[in-house]
Homo-oligomer: A and B are copies of this chain.
């Protein structure tokens, strides 16, 4: 095993350190956030920092770096209080990655990447037409994380659109069947192969594999 001390990590060249430290949390979700500003300018941004926060109410968190390429997305969310999250699948991962380029605020990443802005059920922020699992959110809270000046944005899911083929009878969504991708470090994209679903674990009883219909 290779060992790095805290001092070793802090002394690393910036890009090396970013790739290394971004590998440590494990696989990350791959999502596109769709927003529009009050003047109607659309914005689309890939993020690997979306995480589950709670099921009741249905809450999702996202971490933003204020001066990063996703700053327009953060500004639009704070301005309009609405946004969409769209899972990235294997068919669109290169287009999704391209949204991380530094476009001007007056440029729409939809236009530059070929992804389709889709408006559903009167919700003001654009969805990604090519995504097979996507949802509308309303901003509920945001707070500065003082340790490194990042912003935690928390939204409540107000509408969900999911390809029915992936929805299992017990509520589990087979996101592997949607070819949703996982991200490693800053730039690795992966599809998945299910090992198993496991039964709810009980103390002093062996782990059991879930038998699926």
Interface segment among A17-25, A34-42, A73-81: the answer is A17-25
A4-19 contact mask (Cβ, 8 Å, vs B): 1 or 0:
1110011010111111
CA gap between A207 and B98 in the complex, in Å: 6
Residues of chain B contacted by A128 (CB below 8 angstroms): none
A-to-B contact residues, CB < 8 Å: 1-6, 9-10, 12, 14-31, 48-61, 63, 85, 87-88, 90, 93-95, 97-103, 107, 112, 121, 132-133, 135, 140-141, 143, 145-148, 150, 152, 154, 156-164, 167-168, 170-176, 180-182, 184-207, 210
Taking CB as reference atom, which chain B residue is nearest A140? B147
Taking CB as reference atom, which chain B residue is nearest A3? B161
Are A188 and B203 in contact (CB-based, < 8 A)? no
Are B60 and A147 in contact (CB-based, < 8 A)? no
Task: Name A193's contact: one of B22, B98, B193, B197 (CB within 8 Å).
Answer: B193
Q: Please judge, given known A-B contacts A52-B28, A197-B187, whether A173 and B20 are in contact too, CB under 8 Å.
A: yes
Query: Which of A5, A9, A140, A159 counts the most B-chain CB atoms under 10 A from its CB?
Result: A9
With A54-B147, A100-B201, A189-B197 known, 18 other A-B pairs at CB within 8 A are A2-B162, A2-B163, A3-B121, A5-B159, A9-B157, A16-B171, A24-B160, A25-B51, A25-B60, A26-B30, A27-B28, A27-B182, A48-B52, A53-B63, A98-B201, A99-B201, A181-B195, A182-B192
Q: How far is the CB of A193 from chain B (nearest CB, A)?
A: 5
Q: How far is the CB of A151 from chain B (nearest CB, A)?
A: 11
Are B4 and A159 in contact (CB-based, < 8 A)? yes
Q: How far is the CB of A16 from chain B (nearest CB, A)?
A: 4
Are A164 and B1 in contact (CB-based, < 8 A)? yes
